A = this chain, B = another copy of it.
Amino acid sequence: MSVAADVRLGRGVSIPQPDLVNLYGCTIGTGTRIGAFVEVQRKAVIGARCKISSHAFICEGVTIEDEVFVGHGVKFTNDLYPRATNDDGTSQTHADWVVVRTRVKRRASIGTNATILAGVTIGASALVGAGAVVTRDVPDHAIVAGVPARIVGDIRERGRQARPIGTSRPGRIRRNQKRGA
């Protein structure tokens, strides 16, 4: 069991593999689901009804609002110039650096393996494409993709897009199998 005693869990939080996570000192809201191999550090705050997928890493300084999707392998950061040691060669401790804060607003979705640089705000209902590296603020409803991530669409217009994020051949995608059907 790697859910530390100081984790503040809301009602109905789902952690199907409690032996394969590393949660400590964080706050997780009502009804949120946490996958395997997830680490959430002290002082991180995750809202209600979020989905935190396997292999995600959420560090101190990150605030995730309600109903956010965090994809598999998504990693946040809180330091723009990380170092192992100080100039004198001693190991850095909590006192040796400043946490740069990051915010993910309500109903945003962050795609698989995306990397979120410290200090950005990801807007409400925005979609970060899989594999993107987010280095700037993402407006509400924007779809961003690439390295560095750039705006490629608007989530409110996705029905009209010729090329949905994540594929360039929508005609090749078979949508006729329902999951769990």
Which residues does A use to contact B, with CB under 8 Å?
2, 17, 19-20, 22, 31, 33, 35-37, 39, 49-51, 54-55, 57, 59-61, 67-69, 71-73, 75-78, 80-85, 89-92, 94-95, 97-101, 107, 109, 111-113, 115, 117-121, 127, 130-131, 133, 135-137, 146-148, 155, 158, 164-170, 172-175, 177-180
Residue of B nearest to A67 (CB): B85
Tell me the complex Cα distance, A57–B111, Å: 14
Contact of A130 among B31, B77, B85, B165 (CB under 8 A): B77
CB distance from A50 to the nearest CB of B (A): 5
Known A51-B84, A73-B75: A98·B39 in contact at CB below 8 Å: no
- Establish whether residues A119 and B80, one from each chain, have CB atoms under 8 Å apart when the complex forms: no
A105 shortest CB reach to chain B, Å: 13
Determine whether the beta carbon of A89 is less than 8 Å from that of B147: no
B119 near A167 (CB under 8 angstroms)? yes
Q: Are B166 and A117 in contact (CB under 8 A)?
A: yes
8 contacts between A and B (CB under 8 A): A20-B22, A36-B39, A61-B177, A77-B112, A80-B165, A82-B109, A95-B180, A135-B168
> Cβ of A22 and Cβ of B51 under 8 Å apart?
no
A135, B112: Cα distance in complex, Å: 13
Q: Say whether A131 contacts B115, CB under 8 Å.
A: yes
Q: Could you say which residues of chain B place their CB within 8 Å of the CB of A175? A: 98, 100
Given contacts A55-B75, A77-B111, A101-B177, 18 further A-B contacts (CB under 8 A): A22-B54, A37-B55, A39-B55, A49-B85, A50-B84, A55-B55, A71-B82, A72-B75, A76-B112, A80-B165, A95-B180, A98-B179, A100-B175, A113-B133, A117-B130, A119-B166, A135-B168, A136-B167
